[in-house]
Amino acid sequence: MSRTVLVTGASKGIGRAIALGMADRGYDVAINDIASEKAGLDTLATEIQEKGQRALPVVADISNQEQVDAMFQKIFSAWETLDVLVNNAGILTVSLVENLPEEIWDRVFDVNAKGTFLVTKAVIPHMKERRSGRIIHIASIGGKHGGPGQAHYCSSKGAVIEFTRVLAMELGEYGITVNAVCPGIILTEMGRNNLGTQAEIDAWTQKTCLKRLGEPEDVVGSVAFFAGEDSAYITGQSLNVCGGIIFY
């Protein structure tokens, strides 16, 4: 029987690449996003099925408790088990602190931090009962390094990194590992919007040791590693996937 994985925020970008990459590795994939991204989810589901794996698209806003509960009801009605959770859903806006509206700060934390908390909390009883599971958070090097105009985003991702460490302490005795992947600058739609100009893209390219920015597919291998048995003795860690921008 195939192993199963849930990827949140899966309709495009890094989430989409992870969903397809996990299908390539023999996983059945539950894919989540908000209602406005349903068409992308349906297209992705078809691509996963064409790879010979089951796909389960689930529309839900992960920052809403009722919708998270309904999402897991649908997953566990369709599948008996969920082996891996990938908390990928996230949003990014750019604003200096003095110009940052309170509602934007709250929305970024609602999705990036609270959403990760709600989805993880919902799956813990299932994984504890089975005494097995892999929880993988997609954080960011911004959660370690920070950057002007991104106080709200970097703070939310820093919270995810610390959440990873605490969860590892709480869940290890149940055979559950919890790790974070910290992408650098990945050329998704969100990443390009953040960079803005070709000049900024070129400047950041030169700051990487590999002299290139990342593609969504560059993140997949680290997620698959944390999902598999080769990482069975690794938990509470945050792995940079940034081409060599930061080193801690």
Q: Which residues are catalytic?
A: 153
Which residues touch 170 (CB under 8 Å, ≥6 apart)? none
First and final C-alpha spacing in the chain: 38
CB atoms within 10 A of CB 64: 16
Burial class from Cβ neighbours inside 10 Å (0-12, 13-18, 19+) for residue 211 reads: exposed
CA distance 72 to 62: 11
Largest CA distance in the chain: 53
Radius of gyration (Cα) for the chain, nearest Å? 17
DSSP-derived secondary structure letter, 212: S
Measured between alpha carbons, how far is residue 5 from residues 32, 54, 141, 155, 230 in Å?
A: 11, 11, 24, 27, 17
